[in-house]
């Protein structure tokens, strides 16, 4: 089968298992792992592939009945056409060749069909699960057919030859984010699709979620993203920031397809936003209260922030000719919505705190540790419930290390994996797990990266699903120093034995190491889930 440009394309023959993506050599786009690609000889012209008269009538009848139902109609078409094949698959001339009902949506995958609206034969909008309508830009509207009198869509009109547009879009929703750049190179309409919000709306509808670890290091490469499933690094575009921002206290967080980078410029507070859909940076919306060294956590399309300090005035010292700043520690909180691109003020915390850390656990936003207005270390935590819009204090939630650090420690290194809270004690290089019932911590063993050298600065501690990830500088024996990614899947409950010196260490696995550039110090790290 060939596309509109004469390129040889594979025939999809999918099993009924959930699609897992992998690369197929010499193919311009990725295929589901459960599919096998067969390079076939050039097929006859589409006119010779037309089904018989009875099947054409059924196709026409179903197609007319499906207008306005969108992607859910593919499920009905597949059911109608499958009964002609004794093995449950479709004939070669079918519109939905080799695609099973599971790939087409409906009740078998636990998702409601996407409702799409067609105006003048063009896809106009997609209705999401939350009831909102995602409008498709004019340049992204797809012609359902170029000839109203045609019996079916020709190969050249579909994103995947042999499939109608609705089914092809459903299949492309499962393409890995790492392969979107190559998908955009297939044809102009694929490039427009990747750069539109339609594909990501479909991924949300079908609950296709991937996670990237985005880091900003001290080398000259700027922001890079790591795909832990495919173990690939990807350079993100450079953000055009001024020199003052580059040397300020910067924070990063993510929400949906947005990566926010916040920090101070010469006389103002700046927010830069990276959009995964457009693969570009732009100035982001200002926060309700500009702040630095705050707690943050993400949940889907939302990002929560609380605490930190705000610069209230800047003056020029008359004798030394230097800038002097006056700041205050905040107890305010706010939330960023990636869909609207705006910040919303939340109720304030009970205690003002800076250099604190945040996590999202049990459907709530936790703010833990930090320092108060008198620079005293805090062991308490606070939890915000989005349903009741209220804060609750948790005394003695964070345990300070017994040793006295030689210099200012970093904010608490916290991560939530499998809905359990973990922390790295930077002064001892030990990983601890939090027991919710007893409000206590249990030592689980050492981490693979030295945290005591920099007292927790310059490394990242994150969680992806039920796995913990430690990212930092590491030098393997006989090799150059690089940024290494380690992972471990812990088991934490009341019966988990506490680790003691001399016990076997946790089996951390090196997922990847990137030896590139001249710097391995991590300034910022955020996990994008989209």
Q: Residue 276 has which token pair?
A: 């995964």
Q: Rounded mean pLDDT of 112-134? A: 42
Query: Phi then psi for 449, rounded to 5 degrees?
Result: -115, 140
pLDDT at 162: 86
Give the model's pLDDT for residue 479.
Answer: 83
Residues 83-93: what's their mean pLDDT? 36
- Mean pLDDT is lowest, of 385-389, 445-449, 513-517, for 513-517
- Considering only CA atoms, which of 261, 254, 216, 251 is closest in space to residue 235? 216
- The arrangement of secondary structure in 239-398, i.e. its CATH architecture, is 6 Propeller (2.120)
Q: What share of the chain in percent tops pLDDT 90?
A: 46
CA distance 32 to 13: 10
Q: What pLDDT score was predicted for residue 519?
A: 73
Q: Which residue has the tokens 């689980």?
A: 444
Tell whether the model's pLDDT for residue 216 goes beyond 80. yes
Better-scored residue on pLDDT, 3 or 370: 370
pLDDT at 142: 41
Q: Answer yes or no: are the C-beta atoms of 427 and 399 closer than 8 Å.
A: no
Is the pLDDT score of 275 beyond 80?
Answer: yes
Comparing 46-60, 194-208, 316-330, 378-392, which segment has the lowest mean pLDDT? 46-60
Please answer whether residues 176 and 143 qualify as being in contact, where contact means their C-beta atoms are separated by less than 8 angstroms.
no
pLDDT at 132: 46
Residue 217 has pLDDT above 80, yes or no: yes
Please list, in sequence order, all residues whose beta carbon lies within 8 angstroms of the beta carbon of residue 175, skipping any fewer than 6 positions away.
21, 29, 30, 183
Tell me the per-residue pLDDT of 478-528, one tens digit each, with 9 for 90 and over. 888 889 999 999 988 878 888 988 888 889 999 999 887 667 899 999 999
pLDDT at 110: 36
Residue 371 has pLDDT above 90, yes or no: yes
Q: Are 419 and 456 in contact (CB under 8 A)?
A: no
Answer yes or no: are the C-beta atoms of 272 and 524 closer than 8 Å: no
Best-predicted range by mean pLDDT (6-20, 208-222, 265-279, 410-424): 410-424
DSSP output for 150-196: -SS--GGGSSSTTS-HHHHHHHHTTS-GGGHHHHHTS-HHHHHHHTS
Please give the DSSP secondary-structure letter assigned to residue 76.
Answer: H
Reply yes or no on whether the pLDDT at 313 is more than 70: no
In the prediction, which pLDDT does 248 show?
A: 84
Choice among 91-100, 117-126, 181-190, 404-413 with the minimum mean pLDDT = 91-100
| Cβ atoms of residues 441 and 399 within 8 Å | yes
Give φ, ψ of 237 to 5 degrees. Answer: -60, 155
Mean pLDDT taken over the chain = 76
| Weakest-pLDDT range from 322-331, 373-382, 442-451 | 322-331
Who has greater pLDDT, 322 or 351?
Answer: 351
Mean pLDDT of 274-285: 94
Position 341 pLDDT exceeds 70: yes
Bridge partners of 327, per DSSP, are 311
Structure confidence by residue, pLDDT tens digits, 61-76 = 544 544 433 333 334 3
* pLDDT score recorded for residue 267: 76
pTM score of the predicted model: 0.70
Contact 21, 38 (CB under 8 A): no
Predicted confidence (pLDDT) per residue in 139-192, tens digit: 444 433 333 333 333 335 678 888 888 899 999 999 999 899 899 999 899 999
Would you say residue 104 has pLDDT above 60? Answer: no
Domain ranges of the chain: 21-205, 239-398, 400-518
Q: What is the share, in percent, of the chain residues with pLDDT greater than 70?
A: 66
Phi, psi of 59 (to 5 degrees): -60, -45
pLDDT band at residue 284 using 50, 70 and 90 as cut-offs: very high
CA 265 from centroid of its chain's CA atoms:
28
Per-residue 3-state assignment (H helix, E strand, C coil) for 366-419: EEECCECCCCCECCCEEEEECCCCEEEEECCCCCCCCCCCCCCCCCCEEEEECC
- Angstrom distances, CA of residue 29 to CA of 37, 178, 187: 12, 11, 11
């Amino acid at each position: 089968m060939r596309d509109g440009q004469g390129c040889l394309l594979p025939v999809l023959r999918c099993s009924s298992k959930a699609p897992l993506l992998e690369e197929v050599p010499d193919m311009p786009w990725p295929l589901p792992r459960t599919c096998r690609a067969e390079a076939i000889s050039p097929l006859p012209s589409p006119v010779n592939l037309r089904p018989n008269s009875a099947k054409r009538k059924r196709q026409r009848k179903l197609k007319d009945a499906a207008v306005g139902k969108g992607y859910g109609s593919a499920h009905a078409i597949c059911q109608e056409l499958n009964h002609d094949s004794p093995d449950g698959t479709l004939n070669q001339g079918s519109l939905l060749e080799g695609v099973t009902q599971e790939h087409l949506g409906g009740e078998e995958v636990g998702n409601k069909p996407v409702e799409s609206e067609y105006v003048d034969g063009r896809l106009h909008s997609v209705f999401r699960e939350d009831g909102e309508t995602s409008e498709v830009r004019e340049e992204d509207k797809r012609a359902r057919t170029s000839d109203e009198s045609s019996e079916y869509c020709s190969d050249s009109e579909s994103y995947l030859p042999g499939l109608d547009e609705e089914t092809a879009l459903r299949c492309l929703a499962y393409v890995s984010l790492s392969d979107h750049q190559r998908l955009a190179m297939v044809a102009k309409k694929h490039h427009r699709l990747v750069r539109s919000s339609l594909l990501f709306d479909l991924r949300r509808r079908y609950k296709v979620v991937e996670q990237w670890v985005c880091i900003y290091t001290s080398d000259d490469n700027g922001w890079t993203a790591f795909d832990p499933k495919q173990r690939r690094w990807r350079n993100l575009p450079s953000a055009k920031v001024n020199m003052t921002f580059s040397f300020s206290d910067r924070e990063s967080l993510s929400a949906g397809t947005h990566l926010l980078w916040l920090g101070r410029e010469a006389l103002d507070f700046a927010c830069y936003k990276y959009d995964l859909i457009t693969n570009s940076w732009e100035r982001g919306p200002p926060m309700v209260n500009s702040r630095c060294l705050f707690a943050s956590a993400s949940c889907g399309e939302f990002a929560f922030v609380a605490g930190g300090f705000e610069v209230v005035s800047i003056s020029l010292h008359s004798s030394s000719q230097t800038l002097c700043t006056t700041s205050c520690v905040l107890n305010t909180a706010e939330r960023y919505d990636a869909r609207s691109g705006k910040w919303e003020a939340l109720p304030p915390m009970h205690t003002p705190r800076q250099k604190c850390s945040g996590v999202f656990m049990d459907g709530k936003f936790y703010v833990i540790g930090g320092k108060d207005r008198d620079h005293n270390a805090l062991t308490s935590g606070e939890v915000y419930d989005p349903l009741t819009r209220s804060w609750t204090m948790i005394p003695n939630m964070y345990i300070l290390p017994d040793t006295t650090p030689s210099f200012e420690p970093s904010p608490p290194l916290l991560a939530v994996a499998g809905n359990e809270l973990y922390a790295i004690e930077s002064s001892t290089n030990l990983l601890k797990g939090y027991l919710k019932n007893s409000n206590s911590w249990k030592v689980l063993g050492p981490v693979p990266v030295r945290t005591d050298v920099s007292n927790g600065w310059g490394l990242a501690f994150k969680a992806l699903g039920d796995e913990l990830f430690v990212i930092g500088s590491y030098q393997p024996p006989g090799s150059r120093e690089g940024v290494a990614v380690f992972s471990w899947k812990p088991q934490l409950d009341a019966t988990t034995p506490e680790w003691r010196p001399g016990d076997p260490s946790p089996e951390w696995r090196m997922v990847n190491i990137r030896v590139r550039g001249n710097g391995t110090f991590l300034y910022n790290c955020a996990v994008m889930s989209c």
